[in-house]
Structure 1
Amino acid sequence: MARLDRTFVLDDFEALAKRRLPGPIFDFYAGGADDEHTLALNRNAFRQVGWSPRVLAGGASPDASTLLLGRAVAMPVAVAPMGAVGYGCLDGDRAIARAAAQAGIPYILSTTATTTIEAIGEASAGAKWFQLYPLRQRDHMWRLLARALAAGFEALVVTVDVPVGGKRERDLRNDCAMPFRFTARNVAAFAARPRWALGMLRHGVPAMANLAGLDPAGARGSTLAPSVGAEFDPAFDWSGLAEIRRRWPGPLLVKGVLRPDDALRALRAGCDGLVVSNHGGRQLETGVPALAALAAVLRAVGDKAQVFLDGGVRRGADVAKARCLGAAGVLVGRPLLFGACVAGQAGAARVLDILHDELIRTMRLCGAANAAALTSELLWNAGIPAAPSNGQPPPT
């Protein structure tokens, strides 16, 4: 077990996970599309935004709590949906969901999770949202919606930026191209991590639990998440989104929006919120960084919907910057995945503790007494456009 008391930043968990996971599995999690420029751009965007802090503002104990989709949360953060978590941590989905509930933030379960909708519903009493990939087999997709509703999931997040999987070259070089096949290269990498290999031998290779019942190629246990791209519907369009809206009675978010015109169409389709995202740099190479796309989307939708940011968040200060730029909250994925790979639920919880501590520290240093006080007036902007601000918090 890693010494969690010697982890101080979220990047520590990536370094620890790299030492514990086989190279192909780590690369699958950490990698991006093509030359991975978009992956880097997401993080670099936050470095272009600085602070213009208030001093002598009082408020020794800032309050980071806010409302996300009408529910009170401890900080403006939700767990991003992540597929194939079980390849790095056998019970990783449940571990992260429980850590999120403990921290008082929403957890988003992926369609391509290695744990069922029902198991997460039983494991976590916290806020749960379900992420849906549009599937070719519509009947299966409608069953997923019904299952999520029955299991207590409060909101639906429809991901719309994967009509085809991105070219993830690390996976190709590691012989993780799909359909998955065992080769001398990847078998040797697996054997180099005997603890991981023994766990797989003892418990079996994880399956995409919520895709059971589809064509076997889409749910077979010996595959990783990109393989199920064959089950996604590349012809899915706005009419399909409207049909999902008719069938889902709760809040509905669209994830993968980068353009203001698409944001407006999503609102016209009846969506309650948006996630500005380029899929963590894993889809279209040199796509606009999520943070850089945020302002235009916010200007388009105004106060008609909550807008979340996904991509590149590695610091509590990043959470605060996104909030100051108008986001209702952010999604955090890879650091929590790496935390679970390192130490299960305790590792994921440590990630969230660090994030919350950094956020509160940033608020103290900037003179922000609460989340509503995180506005663009606190920023020094060196390159990322800010949405117009009248000093009011994002819509709740």
Structure 2
Amino acid sequence: MTHFATIDELRRRAKRRVPKMFYEYVDAGSWTESTYRANAEDFTRLKFRQRVAVDFSQRNLTTTMAGHAVAMPVALAPTGIAGMQHADGEILAARAAERFGVPFTLSTVSVCSIEDVAANTDGPFWFQLYMMKDRGFIANLIQRAQLAGCSALVLTLDLQIQGRRHKDLRNGLSTPPKLNLRNLAHLARYPSWCLGMLRTKRHTFGNIVGHAPGVTSIASMADWALTQFDPTLTWKDIEWVRRQWSGKLILKGILDPEDARIALDCGADALIVSNHGGRQLDGAPSTISMLPRIAEAVHGDIELQMDGGIYCGQDVLRALACGAQGVYIGRAFLYGLGAMGEAGVTRALEIIREELDVTMALCGVSDVRNVDGCILQEGGFHASRRDLPHVAGEQAHMHAA
């Protein structure tokens, strides 16, 4: 397991082991994929300040996200149909995250259900919610998450209508894949993946089929989904969710400072700066470029988290320096899942932890809670380091040179 040194190495193995329609469901964006690419590329514009003669022999990566203690400021993002990257994928990822000490977030459109994950883990996990037109179904889904002991609800706001994802359309994406001659011939090239799928009973959307009214099969699921994403979603609906949910509420999909300011009044505990991994509005800015502006807009009045383009521990550190208290990884852990199942998710987390730890030390910081904009060179998204938000408030500081 340890011979994988980078997330990209896990990605290359996943590409060999996962059927094309499911690999490209992960490794793609919408339209021209310009925002998908910018999410990763814009991190490289932020350069670190290398510091020397600082005692960093004792280092700490533990902190909190949405009030929960975490081994490092990283959570596994909610990702649709992770159970198609590897059989029982959501269960395996949740187990890896639990042992590692970071949050796992289960998607509404997961293959393994809320109950499946709860039955196969010991601690609480987080649940991501899409708002559907059927509010009765949504209320029931929230109740199921509460009964399963989920400790945070992540409400996604940026998928009222699905972006144009050309690769999914060309590949004829479906869960499970349609058993036509073309797909059967293609799947035959991935025998280990097929064997895993034959051994599990989980092949479709476990949170929806058998739970939503009238959805008893894959065919009825497709018809239901086409009509259920709600274009009428407003801030009042978020207040309704807040009344339904008694735990931590996190709003995902904030990419504009004005929306961030409005969100302050919705009773949320944290915001996720996100453009849905570049899978929705192509041509939107990267999340890392917008994070400092949103941090400035909320003035520390609410916890900020972010996702999008994070493929290494250095990206995590840059995000913290720009105002995030924690980040989410999606593709990075899915590459590990597709490459090696549960062990691959663990290895992805290990890689990110090792890179975060070493980079933080070389920047002269011994505690991740003290990371702020001072670890970055002047320039980047702001004219000066002084303009970058200090994550830990007035107490955040660098060691003196």
Return the TM-score normalized by structure 2. Answer: 0.91
Report the equivalent of 1:37: 34
Contact 1:130–1:155, Cα closer than 8 Å, also in 2: yes
1:75-132 C-alpha deviation (Å, 9 max, x unpaired): 1111100111111211111111111111111111111111121222232234521100
Residue 351 of structure 1 corresponds to which residue in structure 2?
A: 348
What does residue 392 of structure 2 align with?
393
Farther off after superposition, 311-320 or 22-31? 22-31
- Provide the residue aligned with 1:214 in structure 2: 212
1:379 aligned partner: 376
Letter of the 2:109 counterpart: T
2 CA distance for matches of 1:281 and 1:337? 16
Q: Residues of 1 paired with 2:139 and 2:386: CA distance? A: 37
> Counterparts of 1:60-209 in structure 2 under 5 Å?
60-176=57-173, 181-203=178-200, 206-209=203-206
CA gap of 1:325–1:342, structure 2 versus 1, over 3 A, is: same
* Alignment partner, residue 263 of structure 1: 260
**What amino acid does structure 2 have at the position aligned with 1:393?**
A
Tell me if 1:6 matches 2:6: no
* Runs of 5+ consecutive residues of structure 2 not aligned to the other structure: 397-401
- Could you tell me how far apart the structure 2 residues matched to 1:54 and 1:367 are? 5
1:96, 1:56 → 2: CA distance? 39
Q: Secondary structure of the residue that 1:369 maps to in structure 2?
A: coil
Matched, 1:299 2:272: no
Distance 1:39 1:224 in 2: 28
CA spacing shift, 1:173–1:224, aligned 2, 3 Å:
farther
Report deviation, 1:366.
0.8
Matches within 5 A, 1:215-254: 220-221=217-218, 228=225, 230-254=227-251
Quick check: 118-127 or 168-177, which moved more?
Answer: 118-127
Q: Which amino acid aligns with 1:156?
A: L
- C-alpha displacement of 1:184: 4.2
Distance of 2:369 and 2:332 partners within structure 1? 26
Q: C-alpha displacement at 1:387, in angstroms?
A: 8.0
The 10-residue stretch of structure 1 (179-188 or 318-327) with the greater mean CA deviation from structure 2: 179-188
Matched with 1:338 is: 335
Q: Which residue of 1 aligns with 2:19?
A: 22
* Alpha-carbon distance between aligned partners in 2 of 1:44 and 1:353, rounded to the nearest angstrom: 23
Cα distance 1:231–1:283, how it changes in 2: closer, same or farther (>3 A)?
same
Secondary structure in 2 aligned to 1:42?
helix
- Residue 60 of structure 2 aligns with an amino acid whose one-letter code is D
In 2, distance between residues paired with 1:295 and 1:280? Answer: 18
Equivalent position to 2:321, from 316, 321, 324: 324
Tell me: CA distance 1:215–1:19, structure 2 relative to 1, closer, same or farther (3 Å): farther
CA gap 1:156/1:361 in 2 versus in 1, 3 angstroms: same
CA drift of 1:135 comes to 1.0
Note the C-alpha offset of 1:61. 2.9
Q: Which moved more, 1:184-193 or 1:280-289?
A: 184-193
Deviation at 1:221, TM superposition (A): 4.3
Write the letter of the residue equivalent to 2:289. A
Q: Which residue of 1 aligns with 2:399?
A: none
Larger mean CA deviation between 309-318 and 110-119 belongs to 110-119
Whether the 8 Å contact between 1:295 and 1:387 is mirrored in structure 2 is no
Normalising by structure 1, report the TM-score: 0.92
- What is the RMSD of the two structures over their aligned residues, measured on CA atoms? 2.5
Q: 1:150 and 1:179 mapped to 2: Cα distance?
A: 28
Distance 1:215 1:169, change over 3 A: farther
AA of the residue aligned to 2:362: L
| CA distance in 1 between partners of 2:246 and 2:172 (Å) | 42
Contact 2:127 2:152 in 1 (8 A): yes
1:271-308, Cα deviation, whole Å (9 max, x unpaired): 11100000001111111101111111111112211110
Task: Using the TM superposition, give the Cα deviation of residue 183 of structure 1 relative to its aligned residue in structure 2, in angstroms.
Answer: 4.5
Between 232-241 and 380-389, the greater mean CA deviation after superposition: 380-389
Question: In 2, distance between residues paired with 1:147 and 1:106?
Answer: 19
Q: Do residues 52 (structure 1) and 36 (structure 2) align?
A: no
| Secondary structure in structure 1 of the residue aligned to 2:377 | strand
Letter paired with 2:276: H
SS at match of 1:131: strand
Query: How much has 1:203 moved relative to structure 2?
Result: 3.4
* CA distance in structure 1 between the partners assigned to 2:42 and 2:348 by the alignment: 22
Contact kept in structure 2, 1:134 and 1:233, CA below 8 Å: yes
What is the DSSP-based 3-state SS (H/G/I as helix, E as strand, rest coil) of the residue aligned with 1:51? coil
Structure 2: distance between partners of 1:325 and 1:63: 19
Q: Would you say how many aligned residue pairs link Structure 1 and Structure 2?
A: 392
Contact 2:61 2:357 in 1 (8 A): yes
- Does the 8 Å CA contact 2:175/2:204 hold for their aligned counterparts? no
- Specify the alignment match of 1:311 in structure 2: 308
User: CA 1:78 to 1:362, structure 2 compared with 1: closer, same or farther past 3 Å?
Assistant: same
Residue by residue, what CA displacement relative to the aligned partner does 1:362-384 show, whole Å, maximum 9, x if unpaired? 11111101012211111025432
Measure, in 1, the Cα distance between the counterparts of 2:223 and 2:156: 14
